[in-house]
Amino acid sequence: MTVAFAPPAASTPTSFQPPATAPLVDPFGRHVNYIRVSVTDRCDFRCVYCMAEDMDFLPKRDLLTLEELDRLCSAFVARGTRKIRLTGGEPLVRRNVMGLIRNLSRHLESGALQELTLTTNGSQLAKYAAELADCGVRRINVSMDSLDTDKFRSITRWGNLSQVLRGIDAAQNAGIAIKINMVALKGVNDHEIPGMIEWAHGRGMDLTMIEVMPMGQIGEERIDQYVPLNQVRADLMGRYTLTDLAYKTSGPARYVKVEETGGRLGFITPMTHNFCESCNRVRVTCTGTLYMCLGQDDAADLRSALRASNDDHLLNDTITAAIARKPKGHDFIIDRTLARPAVGRHMSVTGG
Ligand code: SAM
Ligand code: SF4
């Protein structure tokens, strides 16, 4: 198959550079070996907890090109990154994103990278599932908050449930394992949680519940959407037998087995339970801003480092200095007394 851009050729350094292969370890001894990279801030949905309906998107020139994204990801791989998750916005609406995925798959083939994956709303999966599988993508996360067509439309504003379900079918047919992510929204979809558990587990998929996080102005009050997952878990225990599992992915979810379905249920609880002590990841926005913590504003500008020079010396130095500043944790608070979200940027900018 034709790949629309070639992986960058190794540059010829003008002066001697030691190989930048030192693993990335932060001041708290956490090995950073997982990057989440947003490839676009754009999306074909407008989920109510994520975006305002009339979002302003970034000018295209501000985005990293696909070549720059490849260089950036490859620099992290050379420093010990074992897992790359592409996200957004909706990663599969970025033009020629499959060219990037195809090129990054060389790191899977070489064994340097263990996993290349993505988080998607599923709208384009029917089109791309087979090619994703062919590129070595083995597991993906699909975000889906309701199985009710009208409810799905009202949460996503623009989404089409049957298109997403066709995408899930296509991915499963291609042999890709799926984890469903569901954001729990008070009075909106919380009553659907048992139905979602039975549907997902019936299809051999894990389900992970997510607490709504205070990121970016969305024109609605987050406190009105927020359901603490310890409450959800307590309610589910009246209905199911939940057994704690030691199972961990490289993400922050804590898992239980639902004995009645035999499936796994995860809880991502940034608000009620701080998961920072085991954090092994950093995030890069589609403009090349490296955030060392989802819930803090400190960041490093990798785009300037990428554009300043064709070799990766400055890029590596910038990454090293940034990891040395990775904070111990976040301090999200959802509180009526706060007029602003705890973090001003939207999840679609940082990448979920
Ligand atoms: N468009 C893709 C998708 O929806 O899967 C990838 C990007 S999306 C920002 C990644 C994840 O973040 C989704 O599972 C979404 O539900 C979640 N998300 C977005 N805004 C959130 C918020 N304010 N609080 C909690 N989760 C959020
Ligand atoms: Fe788009 Fe994902 Fe945000 Fe929904 S959660 S608006 S699908 S980026």
Residue 238 CA to ligand 2 center (angstroms) comes to 32
The C-alpha torsion from 242 through 144 and 95 to 174, rounded to 10°, is: 60
Q: What is the CATH number of the domain that holds 290?
A: 3.20.20.70
Q: Where are the beta strands (DSSP E) in the chain?
A: 34-38, 83-87, 115-120, 139-143, 177-183, 206-210, 242-244, 254-258, 263-268, 281-284, 289-291, 299-301
pLDDT at 14: 43
Q: Is the CB of 347 under 6 A from ligand 1?
A: yes
Quick one: which atom of ligand 2 is closest to the CA of 156?
Answer: 4
CB 139 within 8 A of CB 118: no
Task: Select from 36, 47, 57 the residue to mutate for testing ligand 1; criterion: most ligand atoms less than 8 Å from CB.
Answer: 47
In the predicted structure, residue 334 carries a pLDDT above the cut 50: no
Give the model confidence (pLDDT) of 278-315 as tens digits. 788 899 999 999 999 877 788 999 999 999 999 999 99
Task: Select from 40, 119, 156 the residue to mutate for testing ligand 2; criterion: most ligand atoms less than 8 Å from CB.
Answer: 156
Residue 185 belongs to some domain of the structure: yes
Dihedral angle sign, alpha carbons of residues 76, 78, 83, 88: positive
Q: What confidence category does residue 335 fall into, taking pLDDT thresholds of 50, 70 and 90?
A: very low
> In terms of Cα–Cα distance, which of 153, 32, 47, 90 is closest to 349?
90
Q: Is the CB of 334 under 6 A from ligand 1?
A: no
Residue 291 belongs to some domain of the structure: yes
Tell me the mean pLDDT in the region 193-204.
Answer: 98
Residue 306 belongs to some domain of the structure: yes
Amino acid in position 180:
I
pLDDT at 90: 98
Residue 296 belongs to some domain of the structure: yes
> In terms of Cα–Cα distance, which of 265, 274, 240, 283 is closest to 73?
283
Residue 26 belongs to some domain of the structure: no
Atom 3 (ligand 2) nearest CA = 50
- Comparison of pLDDT for 117 and 219, the residue scoring more: 117
In the predicted structure, residue 122 carries a pLDDT above the cut 60: yes
In the predicted structure, residue 88 carries a pLDDT above the cut 70: yes
- Grouping H, G, I as helix, E, B as strand and the rest as coil, residue 133 is helix
How does DSSP classify residue 113?
Answer: -
Which residues are near ligand 2 (CB < 6 Å)? Answer: 43, 45-47, 50-51, 88-90, 121, 143, 348
In the predicted structure, residue 352 carries a pLDDT above the cut 60: no
Residue-averaged pLDDT of the chain: 87
- For the chain, how many structural domains are there in total? 1
Residue 347 CA to ligand 1 center (angstroms) comes to 6
Q: Is the CB of 178 under 6 A from ligand 1?
A: no
pLDDT at 224: 73
Structural domain span for residue 192: 34-350
Residue 12 belongs to some domain of the structure: no
Tell me the mean pLDDT in the region 149-177.
Answer: 98
Q: Is the CB of 213 under 6 A from ligand 1?
A: yes
Residue 40 belongs to some domain of the structure: yes
Residue 183 belongs to some domain of the structure: yes
* pTM value > 0.95: no
How does DSSP classify residue 185?
Answer: B
The structure tokens 């490296």 sit at 290
